[in-house]
């Protein structure tokens, strides 16, 4: 039973030590922490985190991939560190002091419609009180200095995602085009669609709210909270 869901992005700069003297992601991190606190307020039995990655699978690693992105610390193999999306989630969870049970899994960036539906249904079919945290970015082609440079289609794509998140439109998220998302380097497409499928058996979100929607580095970041009426 899903009691609430939240969406957060996963730029490495959300890990504070990577920002140096100037914390350029402070506002974004604050809103992400607000979303995590909203999930915790529903007293879940388990917090399930779904984030994008090269491949789908469950993850039990504990180390956050700080060194890989220029931070200091022990140099370890990638097999011992969480994927970026889950590593950022782990750091956010720690920052709000959440001490409940956490389970983490990835969904492949290019996951098929069948795959995202199957993962969403597995989350939805759990009998515990589940808070679902979805880690995913919008497009990365919103300017000449963006990671993927400028693609005008990015603005329409991201506005549709923002609208869906603000209105609780699960069907709209499921209509996102995987090929267009790949062209636009939208890392959250599959994870957003897992969330939409996971909520198919609920009465839908109650009072969905977008806390943040902006592109400070040419990448679109969303923070949203969807309380559910199933609890």
Task: Report yes or no: 37 and 225 within 8 Å, Cβ to Cβ.
Answer: no
Distances, alpha carbon 103 to alpha carbons 78, 90, 106, 171, in Å: 19, 10, 11, 26
pLDDT for 58 equals: 92
* Tokens at 22, concatenated: 């100037």
pLDDT for 73 equals: 59
84 Cα distance to chain centroid? 11
Element (H, E) at 141: none
Residue 135: count of CB within 10 angstroms of its CB: 29
Determine phi and psi for 170, rounding to 5 degrees. -70, -40
Using one digit for the tens of pLDDT, what is the confidence trace for 106-160? 999 999 999 999 999 999 999 999 999 999 999 999 999 999 999 999 999 999 9
Residue 23: count of CB within 10 angstroms of its CB: 12
Give the number of domains in the chain.
Answer: 1
pLDDT for 89 equals: 95
Place of tokens 């603000």: 166
- Expressed as residue numbers, the domain containing 155 is 2-227
pLDDT for 93 equals: 95
CATH number of domain containing 69? 3.40.830.10
pLDDT for 231 equals: 41
Task: Report yes or no: 163 and 210 within 8 Å, Cβ to Cβ.
Answer: no
Length of the chain: 231
Distances, alpha carbon 47 to alpha carbons 2, 17, 38, 128, in Å: 10, 25, 12, 10
pLDDT for 195 equals: 97
Question: Which residue stretches of the chain have pLDDT < 50?
Answer: 231
Q: At what angle do helices 84-95 and 26-40 cross, to 10 degrees?
A: 70
């Amino acid at each position: 039973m899903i009691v609430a869901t939240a969406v957060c992005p996963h730029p490495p700069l959300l890990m504070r030590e990577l920002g140096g003297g100037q914390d350029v992601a402070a506002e974004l991190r604050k809103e992400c922490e607000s979303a995590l606190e909203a999930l915790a307020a529903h007293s879940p039995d388990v917090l399930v985190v779904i984030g994008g990655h090269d491949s789908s699978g469950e993850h039990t690693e504990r180390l956050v991939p700080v060194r890989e992105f220029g931070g200091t610390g022990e140099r370890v193999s990638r097999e011992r560190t969480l994927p970026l999306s889950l590593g950022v989630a782990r750091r956010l969870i720690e920052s709000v002091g959440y001490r409940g049970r956490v389970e983490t899994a990835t969904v492949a960036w290019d996951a098929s419609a069948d795959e995202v539906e199957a993962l969403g249904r597995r989350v939805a079919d759990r009998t515990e009180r589940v808070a679902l945290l979805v880690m995913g970015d919008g497009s990365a082609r919103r300017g000449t200095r963006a990671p993927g440079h400028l693609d005008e289609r990015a603005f329409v794509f991201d506005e549709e995602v923002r609208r869906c998140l603000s209105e609780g439109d699960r069907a709209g998220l499921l209509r996102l085009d995987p090929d267009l998302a790949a062209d636009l380097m939208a890392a959250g497409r599959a994870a957003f669609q897992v969330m939409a499928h996971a909520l198919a058996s609920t009465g839908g979100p109650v009072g969905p709210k977008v806390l943040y929607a902006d592109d400070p580095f040419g990448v679109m970041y969303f923070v949203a909270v969807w309380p559910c009426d199933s609890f």
